[in-house]
Chains A and B, each alone.
Chain A
Amino acid sequence: MKIKTFGRHSKEAFKNIGRNGWMSFASISAVTVTLLLVGVFLTLVLNLNAFGDQLEEDVEIRTFIDLTAEKEQQDELKAKIENISEVESVTFQSKEEGLDNLIDNLGDQGEVFESLKDENPLSDEFVVKTSDPQDINRVADQIKQFEYVENVEFGQETVNRLFKVLEISRNVGLGLVIGLLFTAMFLISNTIKLTIVARRTEIEIMKLVGATNWFIRWPFLIEGVLIGIFGALIPIGVLIYGYYFLTDLISTRYPTFFIDLLPVTPFVYQLAALLVVLGVIIGVWGSLTSMRKFLKV
C-alpha cells in the first residue's frame, strides 16, 4: 500500500469515528474499562505468581535432630537423608545459628530471646531442600522414619492452601476478563456496523467503479485499531502511575511488608505494551466481524 493511500484510509477512519461520535465513545469506554480490569487483574496475578514461586523456592523440611545424637550419628543421618533421590541439598544448622536466625527475623521483639543464649532450648537441625517442591510430603515421611530424628516440620499445607486460593482467583478473574473482552469486541463491531450503514452508497459506488476489496476494508480496519488504541490510553496511564505509587508506598511506609512486588521497570512497560496489543486485537477482531457481516467484500 502506498503511503498516500494509507494516509487517505487513516483520514477516513478518523472521520468515521467522528461521524458516530457517541457510539465511538461507548466503544472506547468499553475498551477502557476492559483493559483497566485486565491490567489490574494481570498486575495481581503476575505478582501473586512471583510470590508463589518465591514460596515454592522457600519450601524446606526442617529436620530436628535428637539431642542425644553424637557427631558421628549426625553424619550418618545426613548421609541417609542425602541418599534419598529427591533430595537436592542438606544443610546443617546448629542450635546457636537457629537462635540467631530467630532473633534476626523477629527484629526488635527478638531481643527478649537474647537472654536464652546461655541455655538454648532449640535443637540442631538439618535443612533439607527437595529438587521438586511437590515431593516434599514423601521425603518428609521418609525422614521421619530415620533414627535420631526428633521431629520434622514443613509448611506444605499453608503453601497448598495458598496455591488453591491463587488458582481460584485466577480462574474467576480470567472468566471475567474474557467476558469483558467479548463485550468490548461486540461494541466495536456495532460501531463499525453503523459506519458501514452510514456509508452504504459510498461503498456501493466504490465497488461499482472497481475499488479493490482491501481498499474498501482498510478504513474500517483502521477505525477498529484506533478505537482499541484510544481505549488503551487511560488504563496504561492509570496502571503505570498506580503501580509506581503502590511500590513507592510499600517501600517507604511498610519496608517489612512480606511480599516483594515485581520491580516497576520493566514490568509497567511490558504491561503497557500488552494492553496496547490487546486493544488492537479487540479492535481488529471487532471490525473483521462487522465487515464479514455487513460489508460483503
Chain B
Amino acid sequence: MIEMNDVWKTYKNGIKAINGIDVKINKGEFVYIVGPSGAGKSTFMRMMYREEKPTSGKIIINGKDVGKMKNKNVPKLRRDIGVVFQDFKLLPKLTVYENVAFALEVIEENKTVIRKRVMDVLSLVNLKNKARFLPDELSGGEQQRVSIARAIVNNPVILLTDEPTGNLDPDTAWEIMNLLDEINNRGTTVLMATHNKDIVNSFRKRVIAIEDGLISRDEARGEYGYED
C-alpha cells in the first residue's frame, strides 16, 4: 500500500527534512507518526500525496511511483488519498453539506452520486442533522468531523491526518479517535501524525517515531515514548 525505499528530502533552502527512510505500511493498518516538532513528520506525509517530491529514493503508493509521477497524474493519486488537518480548512461560506459535496463537485462527479455519498458520509460522522449549518455554527469537534467527512467522501484507500486532535479538548479528541477507528475498520489505511500522548498510549496501534528525518522506532503496538 505505502512503501518508501531510502527516501531523502532536502528543501531548496538547505533544510534536510528526511534523511533516508525505509518503511512499509500495509492495507488496513492504523499507524501513529510521532516525534518532536520539526522532525519531519509533516514532510513524510506530504510526500505521499505529492505535495513534496522526494530528493531521492522511491515512494510507492498503491503500486504507483509517486516521485516519478507526471504532474498531470497527481490529481488521480490524490483521489485515492484523503487528507485531514489540525485547522480543518473548511470553506466558511459553504454549509456542512456543501463543504463535503465540494470535494466531489470539483472532480466532476454527477449530482445524484454526490447527494447519496454526502448523506452517507454525514451519517457516518453523525452530522446529518447539521447538514445546513455553516462551519462557524459548529463546535471544534464537529468541524473536524466535517473535514474528515470531506476527506473520505470519495472513498480513498488512504487517510492521512495531521494532528487531527491538536485543536480539540480531550473528550472531543476521543470522539474523533473513535471515528477514525471506525473508518479504519472499514478497510481504509489510516496514518495519524500526533503529539497526543494519552491517545497513543491508551489506543494502542503501530507507532512510527521520526527524529531528525529518520525512523528511530517502529513498534507494532507502541507507546508515545516522549515526555512533552
Given A211-B107, A213-B71, CB of A201 within 8 Å of CB of B91: yes
Determine if B91 and A210 form an interchain contact, defined as CB atoms under 8 angstroms apart. Answer: no
Determine if A207 and B91 form an interchain contact, defined as CB atoms under 8 angstroms apart. Answer: no
State the Cβ distance, B48 to closest chain A Cβ, in Å: 12
State the Cβ distance, B143 to closest chain A Cβ, in Å: 13
- Find chain A residues with CB under 8 A from B71 CB: 213
State the Cβ distance, B81 to closest chain A Cβ, in Å: 8
Q: B144 interface residue, CB < 8 Å from A?
A: no
> Count of chain A residues with Cβ under 8 Å from any Cβ of B?
17
Determine if B83 and A213 form an interchain contact, defined as CB atoms under 8 angstroms apart. Answer: no
> Count of chain B residues with Cβ under 8 Å from any Cβ of A?
19
Determine if B91 and A205 form an interchain contact, defined as CB atoms under 8 angstroms apart. Answer: yes
Given A2-B108, A208-B83, A209-B150, CB of A201 within 8 Å of CB of B89: yes
Q: B102 interface residue, CB < 8 Å from A?
A: yes
Determine if B108 and A210 form an interchain contact, defined as CB atoms under 8 angstroms apart. Answer: no
| Contact pick for A205, options B72, B76, B103, B154, CB 8 Å | B103
- Find chain A residues with CB under 8 A from B78 CB: 207-210
Within 53-73 of B, Cβ neighbours of A (below 8 Å) are at: 71-72
Determine if A213 and B89 form an interchain contact, defined as CB atoms under 8 angstroms apart. Answer: no
Q: A206 interface residue, CB < 8 Å from B?
A: yes
Determine if A213 and B72 form an interchain contact, defined as CB atoms under 8 angstroms apart. Answer: yes
Determine if B103 and A209 form an interchain contact, defined as CB atoms under 8 angstroms apart. Answer: yes
What is the CA–CA distance of A208 and B107 in the complex, to the nearest angstrom?
11
Determine if B106 and A209 form an interchain contact, defined as CB atoms under 8 angstroms apart. Answer: yes
Determine if B49 and A212 form an interchain contact, defined as CB atoms under 8 angstroms apart. Answer: no
Q: B75 interface residue, CB < 8 Å from A?
A: yes
- Find chain A residues with CB under 8 A from B91 CB: 201-202, 205
Determine if B102 and A208 form an interchain contact, defined as CB atoms under 8 angstroms apart. Answer: no
Determine if B150 and A210 form an interchain contact, defined as CB atoms under 8 angstroms apart. Answer: no
Determine if B89 and A212 form an interchain contact, defined as CB atoms under 8 angstroms apart. Answer: no
Q: A5 interface residue, CB < 8 Å from B?
A: yes
Determine if A215 and B106 form an interchain contact, defined as CB atoms under 8 angstroms apart. Answer: yes
| Contact pick for B49, options A205, A206, A208, CB 8 Å | A208
Q: B204 interface residue, CB < 8 Å from A?
A: no
What is the CA–CA distance of A212 and B73 in the complex, to the nearest angstrom?
9
What is the CA–CA distance of A201 and B85 in the complex, to the nearest angstrom?
12
Determine if A213 and B103 form an interchain contact, defined as CB atoms under 8 angstroms apart. Answer: no
Determine if A210 and B83 form an interchain contact, defined as CB atoms under 8 angstroms apart. Answer: no
What is the CA–CA distance of A205 and B92 in the complex, to the nearest angstrom?
13
Determine if A210 and B75 form an interchain contact, defined as CB atoms under 8 angstroms apart. Answer: yes
* Binary CB contact string for chain A from 271 to 292 against chain B (1 if under 8 A, 0 otherwise): 0000000000000000000000
Q: B79 interface residue, CB < 8 Å from A?
A: yes
What is the CA–CA distance of A58 and B72 in the complex, to the nearest angstrom?
62
Q: B77 interface residue, CB < 8 Å from A?
A: yes
- Give 13 pairs: A residue, B residue, CB < 8 Å, sorted on A: A2-B108, A8-B105, A202-B91, A205-B91, A205-B103, A205-B150, A207-B75, A209-B102, A209-B107, A212-B72, A215-B107, A215-B108, A216-B106
| Interface, chain A (partner B; CB < 8 A) | 2, 5, 8, 201-202, 204-213, 215-216
> 10 closest Cβ contacts across the A-B interface?
A210-B78, A210-B79, A211-B106, A209-B103, A210-B75, A206-B106, A212-B75, A208-B83, A210-B107, A201-B89
| Interface, chain B (partner A; CB < 8 A) | 49, 71-72, 75-79, 83, 89, 91, 102-103, 105-108, 150, 154
List 14 additional A-B contacts (Cβ < 8 Å) besides A208-B83, A215-B108, A216-B106: A2-B108, A8-B105, A201-B89, A201-B91, A204-B89, A205-B102, A205-B103, A207-B75, A209-B106, A210-B76, A211-B107, A213-B72, A213-B75, A215-B106
